[in-house]
A and B are shown apart, each in its own frame.
Chain A
Amino acid sequence: MIREYKFDDKAAFLHQLEELVRSGVHPRRLTVTTPFHVHEVEHILHLRPSWLKLFTLFGAAAGLTAGFAFTIGTALDWPLRTGGKPIVALPTYIIVAFELTILFGGVISFLGFLFLSRFPDIPAIVAGTECGPEFIIREDTGEAV
C-alpha cells in the first residue's frame, strides 16, 4: 500500500520526511517529489553523491586527449612547415584541446545525466504522468491493499 503525504510548505514537508526516517522507515521505501531542488532531502534520505562526476571526468579527459591527439596526429600526417613554426606547435594546439575538453566534458555529462536519470522515461511520457507544484512523500508501507 502506498501512503501519500502532500505539502504546500517546504518546512512541513521536511519535518514529515525527517519524522518518517527517524521512525524507522527505510529511505528506499520513500519516494519524494519536489517542485524544485531541495538539498536537505539528500541528507535526510542519505542519498549517495551522484555518479555523474565520473562521466564528467571521463568526458573532459577524453576531450583533452582527443584534442592533442588530433592536432598532433594531423600535423605529423602531412608535415608542412608554415611561418617558421615547428611542425608540432603545442602552444597553439592547447586551444583546440581546451575547447574539446569543454565540449566532450559537457556533452558526455549530459548523456550521463540522461543515463543516470533514466531519461527519456518512455512509460512516463506515454502514460502522461504529471508532477504538481506540491512537495509529495510516497511511503511504500509494504502492506497488501
Chain B
Amino acid sequence: MSLGTYFDQLEHDVLAAMRKPSKLYWIALVVSAAAFALGLGCWGWQIYEGLGVAGIRSPVGWGVYITDFVFWVGIAHSGTLISAVLFLFRAKFRCSFNRSAEAMTVIAVMTAGLFPLIHLGRCWFFYWLMPYPNQRHLWVNFRSPLIWDVFAVSTYFTISAVFFFVGLIPDLAIARRRFTGWRHWVFRILSLGWQGTAEQWKHYAWLYMFLAAFATPLVISVHSVVSWDFAMSVIPGWHTTIFAPYFVAGAIFSGTAMVITLVVPMRRILGLDNYITVDHFEAIAKILLFTSLIVSYSYIVEFVLAWYSGNPFEIAHFSFRAVGDYRYLYWLMLFCNGLLPLTLFVKRLRRNLKYLFVLSLFVNVGMWLERFVIIVSSLARDFDPYNWGNYAPRFVEIGVTIGSFGMFFMLFLIFTKMLPVLAIAEVKEHAS
C-alpha cells in the first residue's frame, strides 16, 4: 500500500467513527445520561434539603464526595501522562491513545471540579474559594492546601484543555475537508484556517513541546497538592511524607486503568483495530503493572512507617485499617490494586484485551476504595476515643457518585462522535 493510499484509508477510518452512531452507542449514551440525571436529581435534592441528607457528619466530615474528587482527579492524570510524558520520551505507541486520554483528562477534571462544590452544601458560595478583593480586604489563606488545590486543579484544567485543543488543530483541518454541511462549518472555524505550511508546523511543534514540558511537572504537582490536603494535617494515617509520590503513582495507575476501560470497547465499536493494536495495549499494560508495583510498595511503606514510628496513634490507626470496621474494603483494595495486576507479568495476559478490560475494571474499583479507605478510616478513628464514629454513604451520595460516572461516560461518548478519536497527523508522521 502506498503512503498516499494509507493516509486516505486512515482519514476515512478515523472519521468514519464520527458518522452515524450504532444502536449500541445510543444505548450506552442513554444509560449514561440517565445515570447523570440521577446524580443531578440527588444533588438538587441535597441543595433543597441541606447537607444533612448526606451521611457525612462529625467525625467523618469528608466522605464519598471527597473520595470521588480525588478519584476523578486521579483518573485525569493518565491523559497528560500519556500525552505529555510519552511525547517527551518519544514513545511511539502514545499516538494510539493520546487523543482519548486527553479527552478523558478534560472530562475527568470537569467531573472532579464538581465535587468540592457538591461537598460545600451551599454551593452558591463557591466563589469564597477564589482570591478576590472583598469589602473587608480579607484574602483567602494561601497557607491552606485547599487553596493550593483551587490553583492546581484550575491550572490543570486550563492547560489540559489547551493541550487537547492544540493537538486537535491539524486533525480538525482534515475533518473540515472530509465533512460537509454544518460539521464542515464547525471544523472550518475550529481549525482556525490551518493550512499545514512549514511556518505553521514550526510554531506548532514548538508550542506542543512547551505545553508537554509544562504539563509534565504539572501532573506531578496537581496530585501532590491533592495529597497535601491530607498530609498537611496531623490526623493519623494522613500525616506522612510519602503521600505525594504515593498519590501521584496511584493517580497514574488509576488513569491508565481507565484508559484501558475506555479504549478497549471504543476500538471495537469504532472499528479502529488496525490503528490501536495489541502491541499498543501491551505497552500500556506495562505502565499499569509498573505503577501497580509502586502503589503496592507504598502500601507496605505506610505500614512500616507507622510501625517504626513508635507512635501509638499511627500504629492503632493502621491496625484499624487492616482489622477494623473497614477491613473488607481494605483487603479488597489490596487484591484489586496489588495482587491482581501482578498477573500482568504473564505476557499472554498482557496481550489479552478481554482480560485487560476486566482487570482495568477491578483496578478502577480498587483505586476508588483506596481513596475511601484513606479518607474515611482516618477520620473515623483519630486521637480521642470519644470522637470516634463510623461512616456509611447515604442514597444521595451513592446517587451523586453514579451520576459522576454517568457524566463522565456521557461526555466521552459525545466526544467520540464529535471529534477525531485518533491523532491522525501524528499517526501519519509515524507511518511515514
Interface residues in chain A, defined as those with a beta carbon under 8 Å from any beta carbon in chain B? 8-10, 31-39, 41-42, 45, 47, 49-50, 52-53, 56, 70-71, 74-75, 77-78, 80, 82-83, 85, 89, 92-93, 95-96, 98-100, 102-103, 105-107, 109-110, 112-114, 116-117, 119-125, 128-134
Contacts and interface: CB of A to CB of B under 8 A. Distances in A.
B51 interface: no
A41 B202 CA distance: 9
B151 A99 contact: yes
Nearest to A35: B428
B2 A8 contact: yes
A45 to B, nearest CB: 6
B151 A124 contact: no
Contacts of B206: 49-50, 52-53, 113
Given A96-B151, A132-B177, A31 B197 contact: yes
B146 to A, nearest CB: 12
B20 interface: no
Contacts of A133: 4, 7-8, 11, 174, 428
Contacts of A52: 203, 206-207, 210
Contacts of B217: 98, 102
Interface string B151-193: 1101100110011001000100110110000000000110011
Given A99-B155, A133-B8, 16 more contacts: A9-B4, A34-B201, A35-B428, A74-B142, A78-B138, A80-B138, A82-B141, A83-B143, A99-B151, A99-B221, A102-B217, A117-B200, A117-B203, A119-B192, A129-B195, A131-B173
B196 interface: yes
Most-contacted residue by chain A among B154, B155, B204 (CB, 10 A): B155
Nearest to A89: B143
B192 A121 contact: yes
A125 B151 contact: no
A131 B152 contact: no
A70 B207 contact: no
A45 B201 CA distance: 13
Nearest to A120: B192
20 contacts: A8-B4, A33-B198, A36-B201, A37-B201, A37-B429, A52-B207, A77-B137, A77-B139, A78-B138, A95-B152, A96-B147, A98-B221, A99-B155, A113-B166, A117-B203, A123-B193, A124-B195, A130-B177, A133-B4, A133-B7
Given A36-B426, A125-B192, A133-B8, A41 B225 contact: no
Nearest to B147: A96
Contact of A128 (B131, B148, B163, B188): B188
B203 A113 contact: yes
A75 B131 CA distance: 12
Nearest to A138: B197
Interface in B408-432: 425-426, 428-429, 432
B205 interface: yes
B3 A9 contact: yes
B199 interface: yes
B287 to A, nearest CB: 23
Nearest to A41: B198
Contacts of A74: 131, 139-140, 142
B218 interface: yes
Contacts of A70: 131
Contacts of A112: 207
Nearest to B425: A36
Given A82-B141, A96-B142, A130-B177, A50 B202 contact: yes
Nearest to B151: A99
